[in-house]
Amino acid sequence: MTHQIDSFEEYKSEYAKSVKDPKKFWAKQAKTFHWRKPWKKTLDWNFKEPKVKWFAGGKLNITENCLDRHLKDRGDQVALLWEANDPKEASKSYTYKELHREVCRFANVLKRNGAKKGDRICLYMPMLPELGIAVLACARIGAIHSVVFAGFSANALADRINDASCNIVLTSDAIRRGKKVIPAKLVVDEALQNCPSVKKVIITNCAGIEVSITEGRDVWLFEELKKVSAKCPAEEMDAEDPLFVLYTSGSTGKPKGVVHTCGGYMVYTEYSFKNVFQYKEGDIYWCTADIGWITGHSYIIYGPLLAGATTMMFEGVPTYPDAGRFWKVVDKHKVNQFYTAPTAIRALMACGLQHVKPYKLNTLKVLGTVGEPINEEAWNWYDEHIGKGKIPIVDTWWQTETGGIMISALGDKGPRKATYAGYPLPGIQPVLLDPKGKLIKENEKEGLLAIRFPWPSMIRTTYGDHKRCKNTYFSAFKNHYFTGDGARRDKDGMYRIIGRVDDVINVSGHRIGTAEVENAINQNPVVVESAVVGYPHAIKGQGIYAFVITAGKIKNEEEVRKSILATVSKEIGKIAKPEQIQFVAGLPKTRSGKIMRRILRKIAEGRHDQLGDVSTLLDPSVVEKILKDFLKK
């Protein structure tokens, strides 16, 4: 097992070591895993191409490290706990032995259905144990999993399946979320009309609703499981073989497939999990994220299981059957570490303390947040009412691309400061740069957040398009990975993340590109052009504000609004629906035709005194008109 830091003093000395000799530092951590063959070179890198290889030549299978190596010492310990959407439904648990067995069986089902090492398999599934098992089953046979959050539309799903040419899709009849039953298989059926690469669909039964079966393509998991054995040797992988692809939004309209590899991701997720959450033997750990996002990959599945932890999966939503559900579940399962998103905290805070008061919450030792900046009010509420003022809050900053937590406190080992993520983890070398790329050395300064040295779980490429990886992350500043975030460093060197500096909006912790939403809106036949910006939203963090030009005058604004929302749901999914749509006659454009989103952002934010110089616009009068209509709303 990797090293667990036990004090702030020790953090400082480990950090110093990790910067002085990163290879030695990570080699030491990596040696604690099970490798079938040792690696040849600890690190080989340049940020120019970029090329990053950790532990290349080393042979392993990550599931042997998640499962097999624990069987001897903790085979009967619960590995995976599962809490259903419906509080009346019994929870489930799988010991390490049982999880190992189920993963092997699922892996054999995949093989039976034609899966091989290197294949891409798309998972479009609800938060059932089968989703966690399926992820590991892919890894067991060396297939690359691409989990698509099951709230995305058929079109969005089809794009992702096609980008990676997946040959198998894993799904379920339906998804249960609160009172809703969403027909997932129907979405898959629609998507697959445009996905020629898909040969098989394996369906897990979730809600027992009827589905249409395409003979020769669709099979039921429970039927397949009857036909396979529980023995499945793990495929031998190189440390730098891809483990998974996960699509994420950026500045352009097309989501990118972020690629992570086996060895480095394994080492870093385990190490960061144990240190950030200060997980101790016997603890029950719960991360409320969906496995469709990176947080679920790294801190529900891989990190905790690598560390031999008991990790919980929750199928439901925070407000069903009422806004006390999280706290009820914490008491029920005696949860010790609880990890959630600021948007959930704000939503529950708004529902009132009557939903918190009935619960003891006295097993909690560490609280965590992730996904977006946490505002002071939410931080204080979380601290006071959930932590009872007695336990640490770890505000963990990281990204799909970073694979693991980059800046965060390590449990109670060190100072805490509301709204500050804190210090970098060992091995992580953040810097602040000015827009020209000049290093900001002083403290008490704001700047662009970049990382100047590789860490094991960093992005290796964007699937099928390495140039895009280079352009997006390694071209803004020479020899640096650029995060797209702005940050502030205080007098003690602690970091506070301010938010995105690019065209990415963070709605309830979900990353959505403005261009993606614009592309979707523009699919509506009445729309001529649109511009999308983010604005502060009390619960969601940011909301989506769309300025839309339509063809000709519209008679019924409400109807057109509804139709645009339906278009966005269809093109991307409900999570990308704009809160606000304002119809405009023109958009503020530069003479070269670029939309000045900066001005629209100020309008949507209500900062009308800060519009700045509009004289360079092609037609400055459009700003006045937009502003006038904004104020009328």
Q: Does 295 bind ligand 7RM (CB under 6 A)?
A: yes
Query: CB-wise, 141 or 421, nearer to ligand 7RM?
Result: 421
DSSP state at residue 353? G
> Contact with ligand 7RM (CB under 6 A): which of 122, 312, 366, 370?
370
Give the type of residue at 215.
E
**Cβ 289 to ligand 7RM, closest distance in Å?**
8
> Contact with ligand 7RM (CB under 6 A): which of 311, 336, 400, 457?
400
**Cβ 405 to ligand 7RM, closest distance in Å?**
8
Q: Does 372 bind ligand 7RM (CB under 6 A)?
A: yes
For CA atoms 161, 167, 170, 171, give the dihedral sign: positive
* Residues 303, 210: Cα–Cα separation, whole Å: 36
**Cβ 202 to ligand 7RM, closest distance in Å?**
27
Contact 409, 394 (CB under 8 A): yes
| HSE, side-chain direction, 13 A CA sphere, residue 239 | 30
Cα–Cα distances in angstroms (integers) from residue 467 to residues 50, 462, 464, in the given order:
9, 8, 9
Cα–Cα distances in angstroms (integers) from residue 123 to residues 95, 207, 263, 406, in the given order:
23, 17, 22, 27
Lookup result for tokens 């938010």: 499
| HSE, side-chain direction, 13 A CA sphere, residue 74 | 22
Query: CB-wise, 175 or 421, nearer to ligand 7RM?
Result: 421
89's CB contacts (< 8 A; 6+ apart) are: none
Q: Which stretch binds ligand 7RM (CB under 6 A): 2-10, 158-166, 172-180, 291-299?
A: 291-299
Strands 168-172 and 120-124: parallel
Closest CA to 267 of 428, 396, 455: 455
* Residues 460, 466: Cα–Cα separation, whole Å: 9
Query: CB-wise, 204 or 295, nearer to ligand 7RM?
Result: 295
Site for ligand 7RM in 579-598 (CB under 6 A): none
Q: How many residues bind ligand 7RM (CB under 6 A)?
A: 23
Q: Does 395 bind ligand 7RM (CB under 6 A)?
A: yes
Cα–Cα distances in angstroms (integers) from residue 477 to residues 27, 180, 249, 445, 487, in the given order:
28, 46, 20, 19, 16
Strands 168-172 and 200-204: parallel
**Cβ 117 to ligand 7RM, closest distance in Å?**
27
Q: Does 131 bind ligand 7RM (CB under 6 A)?
A: no
Provide the β-strand partners of residue 121.
145, 168
Contact 192, 169 (CB under 8 A): yes
Q: How many of the other CB atoms lie within 10 Å of CB of 444?
A: 9
> Contact with ligand 7RM (CB under 6 A): which of 268, 286, 398, 495?
398
Q: Does 524 bind ligand 7RM (CB under 6 A)?
A: no
Q: Which stretch binds ligand 7RM (CB under 6 A): 69-77, 220-228, 289-297, 617-625?
A: 289-297
Query: CB-wise, 498 or 554, nearer to ligand 7RM?
Result: 498
Site for ligand 7RM in 94-123 (CB under 6 A): none
* Residues 52, 486: Cα–Cα separation, whole Å: 24
Contact 582, 574 (CB under 8 A): no
| Burial readout 104-127 (b: 16 or more C-beta within 10 A, e: otherwise) | bbbbbbbbebebeeebbbbbbbbb
For CA atoms 604, 609, 611, 614, give the dihedral sign: positive
**Cβ 341 to ligand 7RM, closest distance in Å?**
8
**Cβ 566 to ligand 7RM, closest distance in Å?**
26
Q: Which H/E stretch holds residue 55? A: strand 51-56
Q: Does 576 bind ligand 7RM (CB under 6 A)?
A: no
**Cβ 486 to ligand 7RM, closest distance in Å?**
9
**Cβ 131 to ligand 7RM, closest distance in Å?**
18
Query: CB-wise, 167 or 248, nearer to ligand 7RM?
Result: 248
> Contact with ligand 7RM (CB under 6 A): which of 22, 263, 484, 513?
484
Q: Does 151 bind ligand 7RM (CB under 6 A)?
A: no
* Residues 506, 514: Cα–Cα separation, whole Å: 10
Query: CB-wise, 79 or 341, nearer to ligand 7RM?
Result: 341
DSSP H helices, 44-183, are 62-66, 71-74, 96-112, 129-141, 154-163
Q: Does 57 bind ligand 7RM (CB under 6 A)?
A: no
* Residues 434, 146: Cα–Cα separation, whole Å: 36
Query: CB-wise, 394 or 626, nearer to ligand 7RM?
Result: 394
Q: Does 522 bind ligand 7RM (CB under 6 A)?
A: no
Largest CA distance in the chain: 73
> Contact with ligand 7RM (CB under 6 A): which of 136, 243, 294, 378?
294
> Contact with ligand 7RM (CB under 6 A): which of 279, 285, 397, 630?
397
Site for ligand 7RM in 411-440 (CB under 6 A): 421
> Contact with ligand 7RM (CB under 6 A): which of 75, 253, 321, 499?
499
Q: Does 378 bind ligand 7RM (CB under 6 A)?
A: no
Q: Which stretch binds ligand 7RM (CB under 6 A): 30-38, 41-49, 479-487, 552-560?
A: 479-487
Query: CB-wise, 58 or 318, nearer to ligand 7RM?
Result: 318
Query: CB-wise, 185 or 489, nearer to ligand 7RM?
Result: 489
* Residues 15, 17: Cα–Cα separation, whole Å: 5
Q: Does 399 bind ligand 7RM (CB under 6 A)?
A: yes
**Cβ 526 to ligand 7RM, closest distance in Å?**
32
- Tokens, residue 233: 């040797």
Site for ligand 7RM in 536-565 (CB under 6 A): none
| Burial readout 153-172 (b: 16 or more C-beta within 10 A, e: otherwise) | bbbbbbbbbbbbebbbbbbb
> Contact with ligand 7RM (CB under 6 A): which of 433, 497, 532, 623?
497
Contact 476, 430 (CB under 8 A): no
Site for ligand 7RM in 244-283 (CB under 6 A): 248
Q: Does 485 bind ligand 7RM (CB under 6 A)?
A: yes
Query: CB-wise, 342 or 588, nearer to ligand 7RM?
Result: 342
Q: Does 503 bind ligand 7RM (CB under 6 A)?
A: no
Q: Which stretch binds ligand 7RM (CB under 6 A): 29-37, 138-146, 353-361, 365-373?
A: 365-373
Query: CB-wise, 190 or 502, nearer to ligand 7RM?
Result: 502
Q: Which residues bind ligand 7RM (CB under 6 A)?
A: 248, 293-295, 370-373, 395-400, 421, 483-485, 497, 499-500, 506, 511
